[in-house]
């Protein structure tokens, strides 16, 4: 495992904790890589308890005082990140440890939004909703979880809320009509960046976006955004500056046509591959995602992101990347963190062992709702395939539980509740179909005209 060049702890007691944490981290990595069997709750909890014990000892040594970061902090961060993703994988998504990885990703996103000053109200609303959910998890934390971890999460959540409030202030400086223009410009900027990183560059696609920018520019009066009475709108200068950035970016993208210099080609290739893999997972995540896999993506992204010097990447000669390269690489990093945020947020409160059943029931529920919304079925016979599938899943239970070997995986309540919902929908459709059939029997056939 590659560890950044950060000094070892000077305190002998911290060195001993570092050694034990390294063993725990390696065990977590081995467990993560084993695809031959699903991840069991008891295996995760055993390592979690070991980790909490080391955190307790470290807290006792430092007594709340710690200034310089050393290797121990980095390894501890890796352990907490991994254990958090393991809690998601086993379906314990509403517990404190599961929230840790999400706060890390939110902090990254907010750092980037603040740095770039490119964000829309939708971005902030989504993050705000997630932070609200995490706050509920922290407030309802039980005694099973380390007070240190609960306190750490509360601090991180408060920091994220503070950063979010600062971003909101920037949007609040815009008059309402300009907020819509601002959001449209953000959307165009992101669309151009996406077009710029496609396998095949399309000049016409980017030109269309540039035309939309020109339309917005043409709506200005003497270089300002004004209301119907001709009065300058509040925030006109901010939106005008953003429009200028968008137009400049469109010109640069059309000139460079997606070609990255050799000096930064390696980073670009890595980031393109990460973005593409995460995009695939965002489409198929219900069937193919093991949350612990996100750790490797995060680590690669963090490494490239943290390699910047004064906010920019340097080539082999120490020269900073030009605006085109800088903007392209940053877009890919931000897009990838965005996918990771989405995938973590979409994590189901069900163990990966039960996910195949849970996903089948989700599909069945969607189908039954679709049938119901389209007017139901003409006869009970049409419901046979749904009934047979539901009964086959119901028959998998042993004493009311879905077992995997001798284990009872997490998420039993969620799967049983979803199964019950499907049975209810199926029953409602059957009753409606029976009433339809009975009504057909009672109606006498029409007599032929005399």
Q: Residue ranges of the domains in the chain?
A: 1-92, 176-256, 355-440
Helices 294-305/323-345 angle, 10° precision:
150
Mean pLDDT of 427-438: 90
C-alpha span between 383 and 427 (Å, rounded): 10
> 260 φ, ψ to 5°?
-100, 135
Mean pLDDT of 38-55: 94
DSSP for 178-230? Answer: HHHHHHHHHHHHHHHHHHHTSSS--HHHHHHHHHHHHHHHHT-BTTB-B-TTS
Mean predicted lDDT score pLDDT of the chain: 92
* Banded pLDDT at 450 (limits 50, 70, 90): very low
Mean pLDDT of 229-242: 94
* Banded pLDDT at 6 (limits 50, 70, 90): confident
In tens, the pLDDT along 63-84 reads 867 667 889 999 999 999 999 9
Nearest to 77 by CA among 3, 166, 157: 3
Q: Which pTM does this prediction carry? A: 0.89
Mean pLDDT of 421-449: 81
* Banded pLDDT at 448 (limits 50, 70, 90): low
Nearest to 31 by CA among 82, 107, 105, 93: 82
In tens, the pLDDT along 164-216 reads 999 999 999 999 999 999 999 999 999 999 999 999 999 999 999 999 999 99
**Residue 55 neighbours by CB distance under 10 Å:** 20
Distance, CA of 120 to chain centre: 17
């Amino acid at each position: 495992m590659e560890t950044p060049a950060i000094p070892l702890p000077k305190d002998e007691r911290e060195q001993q904790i570092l050694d034990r944490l390294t063993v725990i981290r390696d065990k977590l990595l081995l467990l993560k890589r084993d695809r031959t069997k699903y991840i069991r709750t008891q295996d995760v909890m055993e390592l979690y308890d070991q980790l909490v014990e080391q955190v307790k000892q470290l807290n006792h040594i430092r007594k709340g005082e710690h200034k310089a970061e050393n290797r121990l902090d980095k390894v501890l961060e890796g352990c907490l990140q991994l254990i958090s993703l393991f809690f998601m994988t086993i379906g314990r998504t509403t517990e404190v440890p599961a929230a840790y990885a999400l706060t890390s990703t939110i902090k990254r996103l907010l750092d980037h939004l603040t740095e770039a000053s490119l964000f829309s109200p939708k971005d902030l609303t989504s993050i705000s909703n997630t932070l609200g959910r995490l706050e509920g998890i922290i407030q309802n934390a039980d005694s099973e979880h380390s007070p240190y971890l609960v306190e750490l999460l509360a601090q991180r959540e408060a920091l994220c809320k503070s950063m979010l409030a600062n971003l909101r202030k920037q949007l609040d400086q815009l008059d309402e009509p300009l907020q819509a223009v601002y959001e449209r410009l953000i959307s165009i900027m992101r669309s151009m960046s996406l077009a710029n990183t496609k396998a095949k560059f399309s000049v016409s696609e980017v030109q269309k976006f540039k035309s939309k920018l020109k339309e917005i520019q043409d709506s200005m009066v003497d270089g300002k955004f004004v209301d119907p009475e001709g009065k300058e709108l509040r925030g006109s200068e901010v939106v005008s500056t953003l429009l200028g950035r968008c137009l400049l970016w469109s010109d640069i993208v059309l000139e460079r046509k997606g070609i990255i210099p050799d000096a930064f080609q390696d980073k670009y290739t890595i980031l393109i591959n990460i973005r593409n893999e995460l995009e695939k997972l965002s489409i198929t995540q219900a069937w193919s995602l093991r949350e612990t896999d996100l750790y490797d993506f995060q680590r690669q992204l963090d490494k490239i992101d943290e390699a910047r010097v004064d906010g920019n990447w340097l080539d082999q000669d120490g020269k900073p990347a030009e605006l085109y390269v800088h903007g392209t690489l940053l877009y890919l990093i931000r897009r990838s963190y965005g996918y990771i945020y989405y995938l973590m947020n979409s994590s189901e409160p069900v163990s990966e062992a039960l996910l195949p059943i849970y996903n089948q029931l989700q599909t069945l529920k969607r189908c039954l709702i679709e049938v119901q919304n389209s007017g139901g079925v003409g006869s009970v016979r049409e419901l046979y395939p749904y009934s047979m599938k539901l009964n086959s899943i119901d028959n998998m239970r042993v004493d009311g539980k879905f077992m995997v070997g001798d284990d009872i995986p997490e998420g039993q309540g969620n799967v049983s509740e979803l199964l019950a919902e499907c049975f209810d929908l199926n029953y409602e459709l059957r009753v409606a179909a029976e009433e339809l059939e009975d009504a057909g029997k009672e109606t006498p056939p029409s007599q032929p005209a005399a």
